[in-house]
């Protein structure tokens, strides 16, 4: 089995080096199985997109968004693609990663443990479960 193409690896590497402060803070909580033993990776390629964070064993994508993502049509298309590929997507605001870190982490654990399974679309949080295969 071969790894990802060099162009994909290079793009993921450059995205990791360009982490914003909120992504860096959340990564410090997710890395090395620090969150209840769940393994997360950064800038994981899924089709033409790169997930900020992904838990491959739970098929969960975590996105950390700034204000430029408010009402973003691109994010809707991206989320539809990822959920159709079997990935659940959780979106948190940058500010919440800084001001409500315990709540963000508890929500991620609830998703990983299967306690949050229904779609949630709120002003400050979005969760879209994977689309079941047909």
Q: pLDDT for 70-108, tens place per residue? A: 567 899 999 999 999 999 999 999 999 999 999 999 999
Does the residue 134 lie in any domain? no
Specify the higher pLDDT residue, 91 or 4: 91
DSSP state of 67: G
CATH of the domain at 24: 3.40.960.10
Does the residue 33 lie in any domain? yes
Distance (Å, rounded) from C-alpha 69 to C-alpha 49? 15
Q: How confident is the model at residue 130 (pLDDT cuts 50, 70, 90)?
A: very high
Does the residue 99 lie in any domain? yes
Does the residue 23 lie in any domain? yes
Q: pLDDT for 32-79, tens place per residue? A: 999 999 999 999 999 999 999 999 999 999 999 875 655 678 999 999
Does the residue 104 lie in any domain? yes
Which residues constitute the domain of residue 97?
6-128
- Whole-model pTM: value is 0.83
Distance (Å, rounded) from C-alpha 66 to C-alpha 35? 23
Q: What total of structural domains would you count in the chain?
A: 1
Distance (Å, rounded) from C-alpha 66 to C-alpha 9? 25
Does the residue 1 lie in any domain? no
């Amino acid at each position: 089995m071969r790894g990802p193409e060099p162009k994909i690896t290079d793009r993921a590497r450059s995205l990791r080096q360009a982490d914003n402060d909120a992504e860096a803070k959340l990564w410090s909580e997710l890395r090395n199985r620090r969150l209840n033993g769940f393994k997360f990776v950064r800038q994981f390629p899924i089709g033409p997109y790169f997930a900020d964070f992904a838990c491959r064993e739970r098929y969960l994508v975590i996105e950390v968004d700034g204000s430029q993502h408010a009402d973003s049509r691109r994010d809707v298309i991206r989320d539809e693609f990822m959920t159709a590929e079997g990935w659940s997507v959780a979106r948190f605001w940058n500010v919440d990663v800084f001001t409500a870190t315990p709540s963000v982490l508890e929500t991620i654990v609830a998703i990983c443990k299967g306690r949050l399974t229904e779609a949630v679309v709120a002003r400050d949080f979005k969760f879209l479960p994977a689309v079941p295969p047909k």
